[in-house]
Every structure is written in C-alpha cells, then in structure tokens.
Structure 1
C-alpha cells in the first residue's frame, strides 16, 4: 500500500498545495479502506483509494471555500 499512499499524497499536494491537509486526506483514505477491506477487491484497491482521496479533497476545498466566504462576510 506504500506505493499507493505516495501517489495519493502527490496527487493531493499538487491540487491543494497543502502538505498537512494532504497527509490528513491520505490517512483518512486508508482508514476508509480499512473499514471496508472485506468489500474492496485488491485488484481495484488503487481506483478505490484515489476515488476516496479525490472526494476527501473536494470536501476540503468546499470547507475552505465556505470558511473563506464566511470570513469575507464578517469583514
């Protein structure tokens, strides 16, 4: 799984430009895999992991956008 975590990390950092958030997303992604390990076929694990990471990244972008919008509204 190390080969996947490195690729996921690079993918997230490239898009978010935030290493700390990328580490959180990678950890969260593997936690979700662990919970569903019985339901995920190993031959599709890479696709599953990248899809989960992508969705987590989109959630972070939305959260940050909402936070920025709220901050702008206050000032």
Structure 2
C-alpha cells in the first residue's frame, strides 16, 4: 500500500521533471527560430535581387539560403 504522502511527493517530482524538460528545450527553440528567420530573410533578399521579379523563390534560392544559414 502506498503511503499517503508518497502521492504528493511523486506529483511534485513529476511536475519538477516537466519543468526541467521545458527549460532544457528553450535553447534549441531559440536556435531553430533564428535559423528560420535567417532562411526567410535570405530568400526575401534573393527574391528582391531577382530581375524577373518572381514571388516564388525557387529551389536554387532556397538551397543557397540554407547554405548561407548553416555557415557552409
């Protein structure tokens, strides 16, 4: 039989674990957000330079944006 205080202790431990997991995900979320902003800005810059003025970036512009944002 589980003791009366064990349930509250396990609930507190579970809540603390969830908070730690959430806090550990923040750096990856920030990195991904910055990467997505970099990709969007690179595609927008390359679309502005495009003499045809097309609004669809195309695969080459996307690949060049990925190359730039990944630092290659």
Q: Larger RCO: Structure 1 or Structure 2 (Cα < 8 Å, ≥ 6 residues apart)?
A: 1
TM range (shorter): 0.3 to 0.5
Question: Under a length normalisation based on structure 1, what TM-score does the superposition of the two structures give?
Answer: 0.39
More helix by percentage: 1
